[in-house]
Amino acid sequence: MSVPKNILFIMFDQLRWDYLSCYGHPHLQTPNIDKLAAKGVRFDRAYIQSPLCGPSRMSTYTGRYVHSHGASWNNVPLKVGERTMGDHLRKLGMGCWLVGKTHMKADAEGMAQLGLEPDSIIGARVSECGFDVFERDDGMRPEGPDGFYDDGGALKYNDYLRSKGYEGDNPWHDHANSANDGTGNVLSGWFMENSDKPANIAEQDSETPYLTRRGIEFIERQGDAPWCCHLSYIKPHWPYIVPAPYHGMFGPEHFLPVVRATAERETTHPVFGGMMKAPVGQAFSQDHVRDKVLGAYMGLIKQCDDQMGVLFDWLEETGRMKDTMIVVTSDHGDYLGDHWLGEKTFCHDTSVRVPMIVYDPSAEADALRGTASDALVQLIDLAPTFVEVAGGKMANLDHVLEGKSLLPLLRGQGQTREYAFCEYDYSMTPLAKRLDLDTAEARLFMVTDDRYKLIEFGGGIRSILFDLKEDPDELVDLGESAEHQHVRTRLSSVLDTWARRPSQRTTITNDALIQNRSQRSTKGVILGAYGEGDADADLTEKYRNRKAPPIGGS
């Protein structure tokens, strides 16, 4: 099997699967990403493992479900001992570097327990979820009365902006993520009424082109050794604001129609209904909010696509297109008012299904170039894929990695997955308080197969079921449909089996377990033998014909 030498793992943030022209958007042309799709495989049913940045990414990087690694919400630290794609790839001789966002929060307590210093090589890798850092840029420098959301957020980018003449204590906010009234007053991008205005920054200085250049700089510096580069953009994530000319490209005539039904708004489901009532759901249910935001959101994506053009052209020129696997995906989607919701944090496809395009330059992948796959895939499949590209064998790692390599799917060698799983832990949100759920209850689990999607809740809350074939827009909740009881029972049982999986048996390979089954006890433990003749002679040899002086009186 020939494999690419390098991996360029591009992740956008909050990019809906259906906001790219190769996925069918009629008005948002993304020719550069489309071109990659034409060279690779476009996965039409790619699911994230949690609809929120932090847990989704921790699953992607570890190749494990949230229920397995435990970092179940933003800023819940990924515990020491969890290994990530960086750890696995380095062992295989491939560097694994970060350029951009991870949303990783280090497990300071666990590191202290083990005496790991954050500034040691090992400590730094543990702190950065296994990546070596070329540039960490979580792309966010919010500031409130209690200080910055992220002490390290966007510091380098702010330095860059200052070097380009953007002054002030936080040009990330005042220029990259705000408009200006033309007389020197900042119109903050945090307020969506400003989303249709241009960000007060030259386009080439905004964060997406900046990060593209940083990615290119990283690759330029690489020698002959194979590398994996996680080029991880913050956009099209909020604040929803984009510099000219992208701010003015898209109006309501270009928007996808809002997907929502009156019946949804009348749901009695406490979690779905509760999310609608949250400020974000309320805001995005208003047309004037959508009208302001969607143009910016589409502009941000258009800018991302243009930057992909810059990047892919450069890769072509430098020959990297021939030896580098390229993945384009996202950590989750964005409701944008669909289903009366904003943001993510629930389980409609709008939120949990993402674009995923994988380009493999190997000859074995030629047959499927430009095709779409409706195979169910998960973001935790990327780590196993990369392990195989780096020359590793999943048989040595399938006790740790819970995904499956995508290489067979890229090369037409079948391999299907029956189910995809997603989870959301809302135990630290106001909704959990309103519903008076304890911290174990305020969690939901989703499973989908080739037709249905079941969402189950803790705390005695009833399930939600969608029939994706009859109702692809997921407008009809069959959670109480008597005729679908058997479907719910079946998928609930799938979730139960999944929940019992041995996800923590990570210190022994499955191969070793299997081999042990056939091994005799050759190290002297003899069980069930009444006499010497009840055990194989070679096994008891050490216990035969032994001499020892009898003790007195025995």
Q: Which is nearer to a copy of itself, 107 or 306 (CB)?
A: 107
CB of 510 to a copy of itself, least distance (A): 5
Q: Which is nearer to a copy of itself, 263 or 440 (CB)?
A: 440
Are 41 and 48 in contact, with CB atoms under 8 Å apart? no
* CA–CA gap between residue 6 and residue 94 (Å, rounded): 8
CB of 334 to a copy of itself, least distance (A): 12
Of 349, 347, 306, give the one whose Cα is nearest residue 35: 306
SS3 100: strand
Q: Which is nearer to a copy of itself, 34 or 82 (CB)?
A: 82
* CA–CA gap between residue 201 and residue 526 (Å, rounded): 77
* CA–CA gap between residue 224 and residue 231 (Å, rounded): 19
Q: Which is nearer to a copy of itself, 276 or 407 (CB)?
A: 276
CB of 92 to a copy of itself, least distance (A): 14
CB of 427 to a copy of itself, least distance (A): 5
Q: Which is nearer to a copy of itself, 406 or 432 (CB)?
A: 432
The HSE-up count of residue 359 (CA atoms within 13 Å, CB side) is 26
Q: Which is nearer to a copy of itself, 370 or 430 (CB)?
A: 430
CA angle 273, 275, 278 (to 5 degrees): 115
CB of 314 to a copy of itself, least distance (A): 27
CB of 115 to a copy of itself, least distance (A): 5
Kindly state the helix (H) or strand (E) to which residue 211 belongs, with its residue range: helix 207-220
**Hey, how many other C-beta atoms are within 10 angstroms of the C-beta on 128?**
19
CB of 79 to a copy of itself, least distance (A): 5
Q: Which is nearer to a copy of itself, 1 or 395 (CB)?
A: 395
Q: Which is nearer to a copy of itself, 231 or 380 (CB)?
A: 380
Length of the chain: 554
What one-character-per-residue DSSP string does 421-485 give? EEEEE-TTSHHHHHTT--TTTSEEEEEE-SSEEEEEESTTPPPEEEETTT-TT-----TT-GGGH
CB of 119 to a copy of itself, least distance (A): 13
* CA–CA gap between residue 506 and residue 85 (Å, rounded): 15
Are 345 and 351 in contact, with CB atoms under 8 Å apart? yes
